[in-house]
Amino acid sequence: MKPSEHTIPMQVSPTLAEIAAWALRLRQLHQHLAPLFARPEVHQHALLYLQAILSDIPRKNGWQIAEHAREPRPYGMQRLLSRAVWDQDGVRDALRRLVYQTLVPAGTCAQATSDPLFPVLVLDESGLPKRGHHSAGVAPQYCGSSGRVENCQVGVFASLVSALGHGLIDRELYVPEDWCCDLVRRRAAHIPDALTFATKPELAQRMVHRAQQAGLPFRWVVADTVYGHSPELRAFLEAHDDAYALAVPSPEVVCVHTPTGPLLSSVADLAQRALRPKDWQRLSCGQGTKGPRFFDWARLPVLQGGTVDGRHWLVVRRCLGDPTELAYYLVWAPPDTSLPLMVLAIGARWHIEEDLQTNKDVGADQYEVRSYLGWYRHLTLVLLACAFLLSICVQDHAHPPRSAASPACPAPPPPAGLFACPSLIPLTSSEVRHLLAHLLWPAPTSAPLLVQWSLFRRAHQSWAGHYHRRRREKAG
């Protein structure tokens, strides 16, 4: 069949009417947040900020966000992240509820809580590259996006995963220990005096505790080696009866039960000495962009107090292309939990990588605030924008659109020729944002406004250069 002869289904989504309704949904979400803002103008700035970070402006910094909002100066947007009075933690709680209600609808709540896998809570950190040395918590640290140590801030994040999708629900800024010991530096970045040093696993534990307090019925907690290496985090999860599948580094030492008796060694050594060829199973840990992600998997019972309790396991993953490439996981799960279910829980961790990338696409790493509070406020609004995009995508996927022939919701004629196809993939966050940016919140085109902003930027940069040169002359 020639491409031009392909047909497209009569159901076409989204229609222009549905896209227009998305703006109303954002306004309704924004209206629910009104009690969290002390003044109406600050509340209105939050809506304009959300619309700007959902737009296609090149960088999501204060100046470009203010210009997109048709404001003559950036000061209102800068105050939103600094001195304005509003409850960023309350907004965080609201976006967590939005993600939960999107991924675990009320009608499926009972079924979700009985599902042995979903929902899953995933923990991970992400480096946000920064210039200079004055932003709260900035230091030479490992940055996952670049794969090397560079000057950056590091945020710890939590994502909720269900059968319907996944989205970030919480965030914490990692403040290195040398920052906590430098009173002058931390006060310059407005870090609260009461803040004490906390490791990344401790920050993750705080977010897990908040999710527990909010009543999120997650079935598993999964994370990489940064968190799996923490016995305190593992003990905390066990004390709260939360199953976990946490990666651990190869030198991690555990005691396992083998056919020949107990064996205490590093997990890398145990994989070589205690696993037999018949112990391995080829299983998929989930769907990737190219289909199921298959690996070879094996497990060994971990001894606790000298006995096998049927809940503690060492799980080993082996790459198909390179059998020497192994990964190790400590799993604590209900008795009789199968290896395939453990593998699916482990595989859920990859979803947070997608969430962190979506987060950065919306502008998580493009802010120019230096303060501790500013970081939390910007990241909270970015997470809220991502949660809004997620709600649109999940609803579009869960509720098929009306027929294009329906008089109640007329749709444009289906495309023809090369782009005609028998089906469409569900809406993605990036596609929804593209439609919003071009159809509802485009960049301003007012000539007087654009000229005014050009004058403002040039004047501001001129004064900044003047004071910079004067400081250098005085220092010299």
What is residue 112's predicted lDDT score, i.e. its pLDDT? 52
| 472, two tokens | 């250098």
Per-residue pLDDT, 77? 95
Query: Is the per-residue pLDDT at 401 higher than 80?
Result: no
Asked if pLDDT for residue 151 goes beyond 60, the answer is yes
DSSP per position, 93-110 = HHHHHHHHHHHS-GGGHH
Where do the H-state alpha helices sit in 104-199?
109-114, 177-180, 183-188
Work out the average pLDDT over 434-454. 93
Stretch 172-177: mean pLDDT, rounded? Answer: 97
Give the model confidence (pLDDT) of 197-256 as tens digits. 999 999 999 999 999 999 999 999 999 999 999 999 999 999 999 999 999 999 999 999
CA dist., res. 137 & res. 177, Å (int): 9
Lowest mean pLDDT among 9-18, 187-196, 321-330, 417-426: 417-426
Nearest to 129 by CA among 116, 143, 117: 143
**Taking residues 309-322, what's their average pLDDT?**
97
- Average pLDDT score, the chain: 90
Q: State both tokens at 420.
A: 């005609």
Higher pLDDT, 401 or 346: 346
Output the pLDDT for position 390.
97
What integer pLDDT is reported at residue 420 of this predicted model?
52
Joined together, the tokens standing for residue 279 give 């112990």
Residue 109 pLDDT: 54
Q: Rounded to an integer, what distance in angstroms lies between the CA atom of residue 159 and that of residue 211?
A: 10
> How many C-beta neighbours within 10 Å does residue 414 have?
15
Q: What is the pLDDT of residue 398?
A: 64
Average pLDDT over residues 134-149: 88
Determine the pLDDT at residue 470.
Answer: 85
- Asked whether the beta carbons of 36 and 90 are under 8 A apart, the reply is yes
Buried b (16+ CB within 10 A) or exposed e, 431-467: bbbebbbeeebeeeeeeeeeeebeebeeeeeeeeeee
376, 171 in Cβ contact below 8 A? yes
Give CA–CA dist 159/162, Å, rounded: 10
Give the integer Cα–Cα distance in Å for 472 and 466: 10
> Residue 116's pLDDT is what?
86
pLDDT score at 400: 53
Please state, for a pLDDT cut of 70, what percent of the chain lies above it. 90
Helix, strand, coil distribution of the chain in percent, nearest 5: 45, 20, 30
What's the pLDDT score for residue 354? 94
Give tens-digit pLDDT for 160-171. 999 999 999 999
Q: Which residue has the tokens 């001129």?
A: 462
Instruction: Report, as an integer, the average pLDDT of 338-357.
Output: 96
Distance CA 393, CA 240 (A): 33
Q: Which of 220, 166, 170, 229 is nearest to 199 (CA)?
A: 229
pLDDT-based confidence at residue 147 (cuts at 50, 70, 90): confident
pLDDT at 453 over 80: yes
Residue with tokens 């329906």: 406
